[in-house]
Structures are given as C-alpha cells and as structure tokens.
Amino acid sequence: MNQVFIGIGSNKNHPYFRIYSALKQINRLKSTFIVKKSSLYETKPLGPQGQPNFINAVIEIKTNFDPHELLSELQDIERQHNRKKTKKWGPRSIDLDILIYNKIIMDSKDLIIPHPGLEYREFVLIPLYEITSYGYEIPKYGRVSNLIKNL
C-alpha cells in the first residue's frame, strides 16, 4: 500500500464539521484507511486577510490508489462539500491536498508532488511533524524539523 500525507483545511461553512466529515469520507474510500491524524490547528489565511481563519490538519493514509486516482477521489469529496475554486487563497468549505505520496517526485499538468510551497507553510509542517518521526524527510526538501527551524 502507498503511504500518503494529505493536508486538510477549511474556513467556511462550519470548518470543524467539514474536516471531520471529510475524514470519514476518506476513511470510506476503497482500499484506503487513515493511519494517523494531527491535531487541528487554527491559522491565519495564506492570502487575502479579509476572511475567517482556517482550521488545518494533516493525515497519513494508506491507499491502493495511484496519485491521479487519489486526486480524483479527493476532488469528488471536495465537490460534495460544495468546494468552489473562485479565488486563489480564498475561502474554502474544504481543501484536500496530496502533500507527499510515498517518496515520489511528480510534476504533471494537474498534480505536483510534493505539494508546491509546503516547505514554507507552517500550517502544513507543524501538523506533519506531529504525526511523523523526528527524522522524517520530505523528498526534495529534507527533514521536516529543519524546515520548521527555517520558517
């Protein structure tokens, strides 16, 4: 099975409910189960500040889906939560991002792994650090602990 880390975020339409609902939906996917989940973290938005704070988490899953199949399944969950991509870094009912997939590096038209910018995002690195071992390394970027020190 593949080891995948997924970032989850919401700041619209009952964010806590959205996140817990998405977790249940991910756990119900065929040949997929959640191994670990981080605490929930409240963070300021990455872009425009005239919106509510985000609630963020990171989960580790095991899955038999390949990266594009998993992306499609996660996008289906986002659609079920009425996710609308209207503005970059704008408010979201739910955001599900494949952060790391095994140790692969991928750059295709619709999917980049590791997720772009994750090395600068405290709201990803802190929860990722919480659920991984001390020396966990992200392909291309190195140890999570070192990336956090560099923030």
Residues annotated as catalytic are: 83, 92, 95, 97
> Hey, CA dihedral for 115, 138, 2, 25, is it positive or negative?
negative
Residue 65 is encoded by which pair of tokens? 């889906």
- What span, in angstroms and rounded, lies between the C-alpha atoms of 117 and 99? 10
Taking Cα atoms as reference points, which of 111, 136, 145 lies closest to residue 60?
136
